[in-house]
Each structure stands twice: as structure tokens, then as C-alpha cells.
Amino acid sequence: MLRIETRGAFVFATLDAPATRNALSDAMVTGLGEALGLAESQPTVRALVIRGAGGTFCAGGDFSGFRALMAEPVPAAGVDPIVAFNRGFGALLERIHASPVATIAVVDGAAIGGGCGLAASCDFVLAASNAQFAMPEVTLGLPPAQIGPFVAARLGAGAAVRLLLTGRRIPAAQALACGLVDEVHEGAALDERLAALLTELGRAEPAALRATKAILKRRTTEPLGATLDFAAHAFAAALRSGTAAHGLAAMSAKRPAAWVVRPGETTE
């Protein structure tokens, strides 16, 4: 199952299926999409936090659905249902990667296959010191079909090839060194760092945060000039909305802006 909880300016999605070590079932993928939609639909929300319960982030894909599909013959016409099933997970990763809200993966224990790709699609990846990462698809006779591009976007082509072609398992320290993880923390320090990161994001004006993400994501798909044109319009909209004037006035008065929130606080 997936537990979804809104805590003020932040939405938390917790993978909680201990029997499968939080493997990604179709229902869980759908639920993650709903959690993202919930975060994006609320203008004051800054971030979606994804983590796993029970000491495991995610053991990868739940193959029970694929086994049922494999038992059926390839349809004479139309799209193979295995293609649609697999592509559905990729669509979720696309949404997370391009989301206007900040996305944070908090990895405790194993992040395997699809779980590794889920983390890689997020803006921030915080890991416990005991975290382990692996993408063993090739050793199972499969390509890392949907996760490969997101892992490569984080690591660069060379490092991604070395991990994806070998299926090797790496500890948190090595994942940090290669860029798969942004920070590694021991024990309770992981939750403390998450709280600190949410506090940092809570200082951002919500519309400015979303505009910043839109500018950065647009640069990956459009020419530089078109991105700068879009950015100029976003900048003008922020100035004319009054938020920038308020932010500058708050800075001059050495007081928090009206939009500043801390984890656990409610938002208007």
C-alpha cells in the first residue's frame, strides 16, 4: 500500500508493503501519481517526499502483474499490454522528473531496480548510511527500460553504463561519490537533514519555486533563447504580482516573508 499525508506545505508518500519489501505494484504506481497530483494541485505546497517504510526504500517492480501478462498471448492487433504496463511506470518517472514542485527521495535500506529509478527521478536524494543501490535488470534477462534515462541524467552516460551494464550493487558512500545520491546521513541525522531541507524549501515563495523548476526543466527540451524568453516572462510576472516587493521589504525589515513555513506548520 501507499500512505499519503499532507503536512502543511509538504506532501509525504510512504511505500508500505512489507511483504514485498515495498515493491512497486500497479496500485502503488497509481498512488504515487495521485500523491504527485495532490502536491501539484495545492499552490502552497513546496515538495513531495517519497520514502519507504520498514527499513527498505523499494525492492523494485512487483512482477506479479507481469507474470499474469506473460501468460497471455501477444495480441494480434494493438499495443502489447506488457508495453503499456511498463510504459506506465516510465510516465510516472517523467511526471516526477518534470514536476513543478520539488521532489525528495529519502532512501533507507535497499533501492533496487525501479526503486533506484524512482529515486533518480527526484530533485533531491537523501540516503541513510546503510542504503544500498542496484539496478540488476540485465542479470535477470531484462533491460532497465524505463529507469535508464533517469539514472543517466543523474550520473552522466559513462557512470550509468558502468552500473546498468553490470547490475552491481553499491553502498550509499559509492552512490554519493558517483552522483546517484546527494547526501548520506547516519541514523537520526537523516530525518534531521530532511527537516532542515524542508525548512529551506519552506522559505521559498511557492510560485517562484515552481517558476524556477519550470525554467530549469525547459532548458533540457528547448533552445537557450526560448528558455530565456520564458524566464523573462516568469520574472516579469513575479515582479508585477507583488510577491517580489513583499520579499524585498521583508528582507529590509529583517523579518520573514509572509509565505515562510516550517515543517509541520499549516498553510493558508
Q: Three-state SS across the chain?
A: CEEEEEECCEEEEEECCHHHCCCECHHHHHHHHHHHHHHHHCCCCCEEEEEECCCCCECCECCHHHHHHHCCCCCCCCCCHHHHHHHHHHHHHHHHHHCCCEEEEEECCEEECHHHHHHHCCCEEEEECCCEEECCHHHHCCCCCCCHHHHHHHHCHHHHHHHHHHCCEEEHHHHHHHCCCCEEECCCHHHHHHHHHHHHHHCCCHHHHHHHHHHHHHCCCCCHHHHHHHHHHHHHHHHHHCHHHHHHHHHHCCCCCCCCCCCCCCCC
Report the range of poorest mean pLDDT among 77-86, 128-137, 175-184: 77-86
**Statement to judge: residues 21 and 119 lie in one domain:** yes
> What pLDDT is stored for residue 171 in this prediction?
98
Question: Based on the domain organization, do 225 and 243 belong to the same domain?
Answer: yes
Q: Does the pLDDT of residue 17 top 60, yes or no?
A: yes
pLDDT band at 76 (very low <50, low <70, confident <90, very high): confident
Give CA–CA dist 25/99, Å, rounded.
22
pLDDT in tens, 170-212: 999 999 999 999 999 999 999 999 999 999 999 999 999 999 9
> Do 194 and 212 share a domain, yes or no?
no
Report if residue 86 sits inside a domain: yes
Residue 40 lies in a domain: yes
For cell 552512490, name the residue: 175
Averaged confidence pLDDT in the chain: 94
- Indicate yes or no: pTM above 0.75: yes
In a domain, 262, yes or no: no
- Residue 38 placed within a domain: yes
Please tell me whether residues 248 and 158 are part of one structural domain.
no
Per-residue pLDDT, averaged over 45-50, amounts to 98
Residue 268 pLDDT: 52
Residue 237 belongs to a domain? yes
Q: In the predicted model, what is the mean pLDDT of residues 227-237?
A: 96
CA distance 61 to 185: 26
**pLDDT value for 33:** 98
When pLDDT is averaged across residues 145-150 and rounded to a whole number, the result is 96
**88 & 153 share domain:** yes
Distance, in Å, from the CA atom of 167 to the CA atom of 145, rounded to the nearest integer, reads 13
- Residue 186: give the domain boundaries: 2-201
Give yes or no: residues 107 and 189 share one domain. yes
User: What pLDDT, on the 0 to 100 scale, is given for residue 130?
Assistant: 97
pLDDT in the model for residue 34 = 98
The CA distance from 268 to 21, in Å, is 37
Between 13-22, 77-86, 118-127, 201-210, the lowest mean confidence (pLDDT) is in 77-86
Q: What is the mean pLDDT of residues 44-59?
A: 97
* pLDDT above 70: residue 64: yes
First to last CA, the chain: 30
**258 in a structural domain:** no
Q: Is the pLDDT of residue 267 over 70?
A: no
Which pLDDT belongs to residue 66? 78
Q: What CATH number does the domain containing 133 carry?
A: 3.90.226.10
Give me the residues paired with residue 112 across strands.
Answer: 134
* Residues 239, 125 share a domain: no
Same domain, 184 and 142: yes
Residue 66 lies in a domain: yes
Structural domain count of the chain: 2
Considering 41-45, 246-250, 261-265, the range whose residues carry the highest mean pLDDT is 41-45
**In-domain check, residue 75:** yes
pLDDT tens-digit readout, 166-178 = 999 999 999 999 9
C-alpha dist (Å) from residue 177 to 17, 159, 188, 194, 227: 30, 11, 22, 20, 31
Max Cα-Cα span within the chain: 70
